């Protein structure tokens, strides 16, 4: 499987606001997001992204025979999903707003191509980032087979410069979209979500992440994840060009020969432009 350098860049608020995405739906959405750039939002229309079977198989290792069927099913799933935002209005009242991820999808079965239009209402969080953001190579998360692993990976990538993620347990529940049974039983959360996700990230991505539970009294109230800080790769410095030795000085005979050769080349060029024979030009004083 080939890997690419596609980058996923999203506001942290948007990542934490995503609701009810299955693993395949998340793959489709992140693939679309990775192809976005600021030019997509320069027009008054919703940005349309081409998603092909080749994209899907290269990024996620999906079987070629079933790739388009799974891609199409996942796109239709994303079409039903939305982002939910909670905030207070000017009067202090709590509000929630649901924003659809997409506006339409066009399927060209014969070409194995789907054109997916994203909602421009999300553009400030998708592209015009003013605050914190999460950025990672799509190929790093593409090998993950659990949606919990992917969600945890995104949380970790928000703190890749510090290598430490400390998160309240309630916030972790919400970020993982954990089922109510997991909220009532930390042991179940640990064995079904935390430990498998950490293990898969370590094995598939190679990120040496560790975790520990933080207690208040006898109750677990927060989690702490630590992992190696990821430094930005610096470009290699160009190698210095060694000083070139000066050519030896020409003798008078050599200088005369070089001037004669230059004159001859000049006359040849004149002959080509004027159409006169070179011999005629050579006879001129």
**C-alpha to C-alpha distance for 17 and 82, rounded to whole angstroms:** 9
| CB neighbour list of residue 239: distance below 8 Å, 6 or more residues apart | none
Shared-domain flag, residues 7 and 93: yes
Q: Do the domain assignments include residue 7?
A: yes
Whether residue 125 sits in one domain with residue 66: yes
In this structure, the answer to whether residues 123 and 163 fall within a common structural domain is no
In a domain, 282, yes or no: no
135 and 218, same domain (yes or no): no
Q: What is the pLDDT along the chain (285 residues), one digit of tens a residue?
A: 455 566 656 566 666 655 567 888 988 888 888 888 777 767 778 889 999 999 888 888 787 888 899 999 999 999 998 887 777 888 888 888 888 989 999 999 999 999 999 998 887 777 644 344 456 677 777 778 888 998 899 889 888 889 999 999 998 998 888 888 988 899 999 999 999 999 999 998 889 999 999 999 989 999 999 999 875 444 344 445 555 566 666 677 776 677 667 666 655 655 555 555 656 545 554
CA distance 152 to 66: 28
Of residues 107, 147, 133, 127, the one with CA closest to residue 27 = 147
* Domain finish residue from 229, 254, 273: 229
Task: Output b/e per residue, 26-51; b: 16+ Cβ within 10 A.
Answer: bbbbbbbbbbbeeebbeeeebbbbeb
Same domain, yes or no: 87 and 203: no
Note whether 2 and 135 are same-domain residues.
yes
State whether 66 and 192 are in the same domain: no
Domain of 193 in residue numbering reads as 144-229
DSSP string, 140-174: HHHT---HHHHHHHHHHHTTTTTTEEEEEHHHHHH
Tell me how far apart the alpha carbons of residues 238 and 235 are, in angstroms, rounded to a whole number. 9
Task: Say how far apart CA 149 and CA 141 lie, in whole Å.
Answer: 9
Residue 247 placed within a domain:
no
Domain boundary among 91, 113, 142: 142
Number of domains in the chain: 2
> 214: domain CATH number?
1.10.10.10
The per-residue pLDDT for 234 is 40
Asked if 41 and 53 sit in the same domain, the reply is: yes
């Amino acid at each position: 499987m080939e890997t690419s350098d596609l980058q996923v860049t999203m506001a942290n608020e948007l990542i934490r606001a995503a609701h009810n995405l299955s693993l395949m739906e998340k793959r489709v959405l992140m693939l679309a997001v990775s192809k976005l750039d600021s030019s997509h939002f320069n027009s008054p229309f919703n940005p349309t992204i081409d998603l092909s079977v080749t994209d899907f198989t290269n990024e996620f290792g999906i079987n070629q025979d079933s790739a388009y069927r799974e891609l199409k099913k996942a796109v239709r799933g994303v079409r039903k999903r939305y982002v939910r935002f909670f905030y207070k209005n000017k009067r202090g009242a709590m509000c929630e707003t649901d924003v659809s991820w997409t506006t339409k999808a066009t399927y060209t079965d014969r070409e194995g191509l789907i054109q997916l239009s994203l909602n421009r209402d999300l553009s400030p969080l998708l592209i015009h980032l003013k605050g914190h953001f999460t950025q990672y190579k799509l190929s790093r998360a593409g090998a993950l087979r659990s949606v919990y692993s992917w969600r945890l990976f995104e949380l970790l990538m928000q703190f890749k410069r510090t290598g430490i993620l400390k998160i309240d347990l309630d916030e972790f529940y919400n970020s993982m979209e954990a089922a109510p049974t997991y909220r009532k039983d930390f042991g179940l959360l640990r064995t079904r979500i935390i430990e498998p996700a950490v293990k898969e990230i370590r094995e598939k991505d190679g990120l040496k992440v560790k975790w520990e539970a933080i207690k208040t009294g006898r109750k677990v109230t927060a989690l702490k994840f630590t992992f190696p800080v990821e430094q930005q790769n610096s470009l290699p410095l160009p190698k210095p060009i060694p000083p070139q030795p000066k050519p030896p000085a020409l003798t008078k005979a050599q200088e005369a020969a070089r001037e004669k050769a230059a004159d001859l080349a000049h006359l040849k060029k004149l002959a080509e432009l004027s159409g006169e024979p070179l011999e005629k030009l050579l006879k001129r004083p």
